[in-house]
């Protein structure tokens, strides 16, 4: 998806038809890269209000946050990240009631927690199918699906669902 000015190899997303952005080398957010810093990544069970607050603290608008979520297209997630949506969801529901992906995911996840569920049906293409999946209530992570379920972000999801390459202008406008 992003490529440094000096890099010769293209990213998987670019080969899949996604946008290319030239970004100068070097981190602007710190001088180190440590595994313990991943605690700042959003957990998969946040709702849209929590996501808007978390991303807003890092300078993202809700539109940029939804666009960045669209980069999930072409990727997948390990079953361990969303298995709570398939069994023992809450006190009244065994399975997450807003999801339509459960049957397929249950089959995938029967192989274990490290089995991987694609975010959308066009895994090797950078397109709008991630957003189309949210419209069909087939978001893999709870926080993916909450982007469509929430009135705060549903319109943004719907707008990106109509575009072939939904994230190009919104992500490139991010002030890196």
Domains of the chain: 46-172 (1.10.420.10)
The annotation places the binding site for heme b at: 72
Give the SS3 label for residue 104. helix
Beta bridge partners of 78: 116
Residue 142: CA atoms inside 13 Å, Cβ hemisphere, count?
Answer: 20
- Computed over every residue of the chain, the mean pLDDT equals 73
| Cα distances (Å, whole numbers) of residue 163 to 131, 132, 156, 172, 175 | 10, 10, 11, 16, 23
Average pLDDT (14-28) is: 60
Whether the pTM exceeds 0.85: the reply is: no
CA atoms of 128 and 114, how far apart (whole Å): 26
pLDDT at residue 51, as a whole number: 92
Average pLDDT (5-19) is: 52
The annotation places the binding site at: 42, 72-73, 120, 122, 127
The annotation places the binding site for substrate at: 42
pLDDT at residue 157, as a whole number: 93
The annotation places the binding site for Ca(2+) at: 73, 120, 122, 127
| Cα four-point dihedral sign 34, 20, 11, 113 | positive
Confidence of residue 158 (pLDDT cuts 50, 70, 90): very high
| Residue 96 burial (10 A CB sphere; 0-12, 13-18, 19+) | buried
């Amino acid at each position: 998806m992003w490529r440094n000015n000096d890099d010769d190899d293209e990213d998987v997303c670019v080969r899949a038809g996604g946008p290319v952005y030239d970004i100068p080398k070097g981190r602007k957010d710190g001088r180190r890269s440590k595994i313990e810093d991943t605690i700042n990544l959003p957990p998969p069970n946040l709702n849209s209000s929590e996501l808007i607050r978390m991303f807003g603290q890092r300078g993202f608008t809700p539109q940029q946050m939804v666009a960045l979520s669209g980069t999930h297209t072409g990727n997948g997630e390990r079953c361990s990240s969303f298995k709570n949506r398939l069994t023992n969801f809450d006190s009244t529901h065994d399975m997450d009631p807003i999801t339509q992906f459960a049957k397929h995911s249950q089959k995938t996840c029967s192989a274990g927690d490290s089995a991987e569920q694609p975010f959308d049906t066009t895994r090797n293409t950078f397109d709008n199918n991630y957003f189309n999946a949210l419209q069909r209530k087939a978001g893999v992570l709870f926080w993916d699906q909450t982007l469509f379920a929430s009135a705060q972000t549903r319109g943004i999801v719907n707008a990106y669902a109509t575009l072939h390459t939904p994230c190009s202008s919104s992500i490139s406008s991010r002030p890196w």
